[in-house]
């Protein structure tokens, strides 16, 4: 699915820039050109054939390890990526860029607390102002997923961290997309701040209608998910008829039967008076795209 490849391409360009690490090392010009011209498969075969630079304190070594980690991520070999990065960082230091890669693979493995710790360490390691939104986005997603993964009442302290980083993302990213507003809306829904949640879901829907960052098929899926969230917020606030109608609308406009099934499950969980989960079958993806259960990020 296109999101996976787009994710990895964004990962290599964004994460390698952390700490002003460039892809200008001579030994990497050819693999990067191969990546651009022929795709990940051949580029990753090429990086496997290159000798790892001996100087673990140098930029070339960090670039080599980062590109190898990106290749493992593109192949969805995240368990291998985690082991690879932990071994390399034990020898060459825990640079922000490598911690970013480590946290991303941990997140995709469902290791949410570990991912958040890696991203926090990367942030503390010193990154430029322009690179901070990348980590804010990932921290918000990791904490939100951590708060909602247990199936029990969300942890208030973890939710507060998710809120903090989502707000920081909105403050520092001049082109924050609709998914960021929806993510904050969901955090506020889980915190019981229903009026703000309704406002944020409404903003997400407005932005989503014309967002240039996603193709039409993704915007349709986002419309479904944001409409469901808006319905949940109204329902939890006490406007049960309006909330139920919006949740039904989300089911009706879902473009696939599998997505309709997910929306029905979320609706049913929301309608149950004893439900503690608030319809928490939502998985925040990286770098910030909300994806319904079963969809690939």
Is residue 75 over pLDDT 50?
yes
Whether 171 contacts 214, CB under 8 Å: no
Report pLDDT digits (tens) over 151-172: 677 889 999 999 999 999 999 9
User: Residue 247: its pLDDT value, please?
Assistant: 98
Cα-only R_g, the chain: 20
Percent of the chain with pLDDT over 70: 74
Between 32 and 237, name the one with better pLDDT.
Answer: 237
Domain boundaries, the chain: 2-127, 135-292
Q: Any idea which architecture 135-292 has in CATH?
A: Alpha Horseshoe (1.25)
Lowest mean pLDDT among 17-21, 95-99, 206-210: 17-21
- Binned at pLDDT 50, 70 and 90, residue 212 comes out as confident
Of 208, 204, 206, nearest to 184 by C-alpha is 204
Q: What is the pLDDT of residue 127?
A: 84
For position 29, what pLDDT does the model report? Answer: 44
Mean residue pLDDT across the chain: 79
pLDDT digits (tens, 9 = 90+) for 22-47: 222 333 445 545 544 555 555 576 66
Work out the widest C-alpha separation in the chain, in whole angstroms: 66
What distance in Å separates the CA atoms of residue 58 and residue 41, rounded to the nearest whole number?
Answer: 26
Are 211 and 255 contacting, i.e. CB atoms less than 8 angstroms apart? no
Whether 2-127 and 135-292 share one fold: the answer is yes
In this prediction the pTM is 0.75
Q: Check if the beta carbon of residue 52 is closer than 8 Å to that of residue 75.
A: no
Query: To 10 degrees, what angle do helices 96-108 and 59-74 make?
Result: 10
Q: Is the pLDDT of residue 283 over 50?
A: no
Concatenated DSSP letters for 253-267? H-SSHHHHHHHHHHH
176 or 107, which is more confident? 107
Pick the CATH number of 2-127 from 1.25.40.10, 3.40.640.10, 1.10.443.10, 3.30.420.40: 1.25.40.10
pLDDT at residue 197, as a whole number: 98
More confident of the two residues 18 and 271 = 271
Q: Is 16 helix (H, G, I), strand (E, B) or coil?
A: coil
Please determine, for residue 139, whether its predicted confidence score (pLDDT) is greater than 80.
yes
């Amino acid at each position: 699915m296109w999101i996976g490849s787009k994710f990895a391409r964004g990962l290599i360009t964004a994460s390698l820039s952390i700490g002003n690490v460039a892809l200008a090392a001579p030994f990497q010009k050819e693999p990067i050109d191969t990546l651009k011209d022929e795709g990940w498969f051949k580029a990753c075969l090429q990086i496997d054939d290159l000798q790892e630079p001996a100087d673990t304190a140098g930029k070339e070594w960090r670039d080599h390890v980062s590109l190898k980690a990106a290749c493992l991520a593109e192949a969805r070999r995240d368990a291998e990526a985690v082991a690879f990065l932990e071994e390399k960082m034990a020898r060459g230091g825990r640079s922000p860029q490598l911690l970013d890669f480590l946290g991303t693979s941990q997140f995709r493995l469902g290791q949410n607390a570990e991912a958040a710790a890696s991203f926090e360490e990367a942030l503390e390691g010193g990154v430029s102002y322009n690179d901070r939104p990348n980590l804010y986005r990932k921290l918000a997603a990791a904490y939100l997923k951590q708060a909602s993964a247990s199936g029990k009442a969300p942890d208030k302290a973890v939710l507060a961290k998710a809120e903090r980083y989502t707000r920081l993302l909105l403050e520092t990213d001049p082109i924050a997309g609709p998914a960021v507003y929806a993510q904050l809306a969901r955090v506020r829904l889980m915190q019981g701040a229903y009026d703000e949640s309704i406002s944020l879901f409404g903003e997400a829907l407005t932005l989503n209608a014309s967002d240039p960052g996603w193709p039409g098929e993704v915007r349709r899926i986002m419309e479904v998910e944001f409409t469901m969230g808006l319905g949940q917020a109204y329902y939890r606030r006490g406007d049960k008829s309006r909330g139920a109608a919006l949740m039904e609308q989300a089911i009706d406009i879902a473009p696939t039967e599998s997505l309709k099934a997910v929306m029905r499950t979320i609706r049913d969980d929301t309608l149950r008076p004893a439900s503690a989960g608030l319809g928490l079958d939502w998985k925040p993806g990286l770098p910030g795209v909300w994806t319904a259960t079963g969809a690939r990020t």
